[in-house]
Amino acid sequence: MNKIVVLTGIPGSGKTTVLEAVLALTSKEGMKFLPVNYGTVMFEAAREMKLVTDRDQMRKLDPSKQKDMQKMAGKKIASMARTASLIVDTHCTINTHKGYLPGLPEWVLREMMPDTIVLIEADPKEIYTRRNSDKTRARDAETSDDIHAHQQINRAASIAYGMMTGATTKIIKNEQGKAEKAAKEILDLLR
Superfamily of domain 4-190: P-loop containing nucleotide triphosphate hydrolases (3.40.50.300)
Q: Answer whether residue 65 shows pLDDT above 70.
A: yes
In the DSSP assignment, the letter for residue 2 is -
Q: Tell me, what's the pLDDT at 122? A: 96
Q: Tell me, what's the pLDDT at 141? A: 77
Percentage of the chain modeled with pLDDT above 70: 97
Q: Which of 5-9, 63-67, 76-80, 93-97 has the lowest mean pLDDT?
A: 63-67
Mean of pLDDT values over 115-140: 87
Strand order in the sheet with 34-37: 34-37, 86-90, 4-8, 116-121, 168-173
Q: Using CA of residue 22, residue 25, residue 31, residue 34, what is the dihedral sign?
A: positive
Mean of pLDDT values over 54-66: 83
Cα separations in angstroms, 141 against 57, 77, 129, 132 = 15, 31, 12, 9
Q: Tell me, what's the pLDDT at 138? A: 63
What pairing do the DSSP bridges indicate for beta strands 93-96 and 34-37? unpaired
Q: Which of 9-13, 64-68, 81-85, 172-176 has the lowest mean pLDDT?
A: 64-68
pLDDT confidence tier of residue 71, bands split at 50, 70 and 90: confident
The CB density around residue 111, as the number of other CB atoms within 10 Å, is 18
Q: Are 80 and 96 in contact (CB under 8 A)?
A: no
Q: Tell me, what's the pLDDT at 132? A: 82
Query: Closest Cα partner for 7 from 53, 29, 32, 38?
Result: 38
Q: Are 58 and 66 in contact (CB under 8 A)?
A: yes
Cα separations in angstroms, 169 against 12, 41, 109, 154, 187 = 20, 23, 14, 11, 15
Task: List alpha helices for 54-172, DSSP H.
Answer: 63-80, 106-112, 124-133, 144-165
